[in-house]
Amino acid sequence: MKRTSEGGLNIIGTTQLNTNFELQNNITKLDSLPSIPVLAQKLLTLELNTDEGEEMLLNLIGLDPLISAKIIGLANSGMSGANLKVSAINHAAIRLGLTRVKSIAIGIATLSMRSNFPDSKIKTDDLWLNSMGIAFAMGAIAKAMPSSSRPSEDKVFLAGLLHDIGYIALGYLDAKASDALYDQLQLQTDSSVLEIEQNLLVMTHCEIGAQLGQLWELPEEIISVIRYHHSPKLEEAAKGQPLVRMVNVAEKILPEFCIFKHSRDAVTDQDWLELGIDPADTDEIRNNIAEVSAQAYEFAGSF
C-alpha cells in the first residue's frame, strides 16, 4: 500500500486491485455503450459547401429544441459581440457562422447522452463547462496562428468540445471506478491527472475516450486529440497536430476550466513556437482567452 506524507494509508492501496480488475473487464463492454447520437452522426458527415448542406444543417438542428436553444443563447451572449437579439436558428447561424454552429451542435448532442448513463460524481455540467471553455480558448489561439497551419474552425471547436469524452465512457463502464477516481483526484491535487488515473485504473480517460472515438468512427484528428492532449510531445500525436497542442496549451492557461483542479506546467516558449506563434506576442492572446473564457463560463452556466 502507498502511504500519505503524514504516514496514513492512501486509499489507492486496497481499492486499486479491485477497481482495475472491474474496469479491465468492463472495457470489453465498450461496444455496448449507446451509439453516438444520430444527430451528431449526421452532422459529422454533413458537408457545408453547398446550399443543400447548409439547409440540412439548419433543419437537423431545428429538430432538437435543446440544441437550438443553446445555439440561439450563444448567439445572443456577449461572445457574439452583437446587441440585437435573435430568436431563430437561421439568424443565430448567420451570426456565429455555420462551421461553428455545426461543431457546437455535435458537441452538445454527444455530451447530452451522458444523461442516459448511470449517475456518477463526474457531472455533465462540469464536462460542459470544461468543453466550452477550452473550445473557445482554442479559437482565440487559432486566430493568432499562421493561416497556413491554422486548423479549420469546425475542427478547432469539435476538438475542444470532445477532448475529455473519456470521462463519459468511464462513468458508463464502471460508475464505482469513476467515483473512486473523482475522490482521488480531489485528494491528490499535487499529482498529475494521468498519474492518478494510471495508478488507480491502469487506463486513462484519454485512452478510454480514444477507444470510444474509434468505435464511433470520429475523425482521426479528433481521436488523436482525445488520446494525446495530455502528452502532445509523443510522436504518435502527429496525426492530431496542431489540435493536440492547442488543447494542451488551452488547458494550461485555463486550469480553472478543467474538471479537476490540479497543478499544471506553465506554457513554455516552445509550446507557442510549435503553434507558429511568437512568445513575445502572447500577452494579447492570453487577454483574449481570459475574455472569451469568462463569456463561455457565463454562457455554459446558463444551461
> Averaged over 95-115, what is the pLDDT?
77
69 found inside a domain: no
Q: Is 148 helix (H, G, I), strand (E, B) or coil?
A: coil
- Cβ neighbours for 73, distance < 8 A, ≥ 6 positions apart: 299, 302, 303
pLDDT above 90: percentage of residues in the chain: 25
Cell numbers at 59, concatenated = 433543419
78 found inside a domain: no
Distance CA 222, CA 155 (A): 8
23 found inside a domain: yes
40 found inside a domain: no
What letter does residue 216 receive in the DSSP assignment?
Answer: T
Distance of alpha carbon 169 from the chain centroid: 13
38 found inside a domain: no
257 found inside a domain: yes
User: pLDDT tier at 207 (50, 70, 90 boundaries)?
Assistant: very high
- Cβ neighbours for 280, distance < 8 A, ≥ 6 positions apart: none
Q: Is the pLDDT of residue 22 over 80?
A: no
> So what's the pLDDT on residue 203?
84
215 found inside a domain: yes
Q: For the chain, how many structural domains are there in total?
A: 1
- The model's pTM: 0.79
User: pLDDT tier at 106 (50, 70, 90 boundaries)?
Assistant: confident
| DSSP string computed for 246-259 | HHHHHHHH-GGGSS
Amino acid at 44: L
> Averaged over 163-177, what is the pLDDT?
86
Residue given cell 447548409 in the structure block: 54
The pLDDT tens digits for 184-203 are 888 887 888 888 888 888 88
- Cβ neighbours for 8, distance < 8 A, ≥ 6 positions apart: none
> So what's the pLDDT on residue 5?
35
Burial of 297 (0-12, 13-18, 19+ CB in 10 A): middle
User: pLDDT tier at 264 (50, 70, 90 boundaries)?
Assistant: low
User: pLDDT tier at 143 (50, 70, 90 boundaries)?
Assistant: very high
The pLDDT tens digits for 48-57 are 878 888 888 8
256 found inside a domain: yes
Q: What CATH code is carried by the domain that includes residue 238? A: 1.10.3210.10
> Averaged over 200-215, what is the pLDDT?
88
The pLDDT tens digits for 232-242 are 999 999 999 99
Domain that holds residue 263: 14-32+119-301
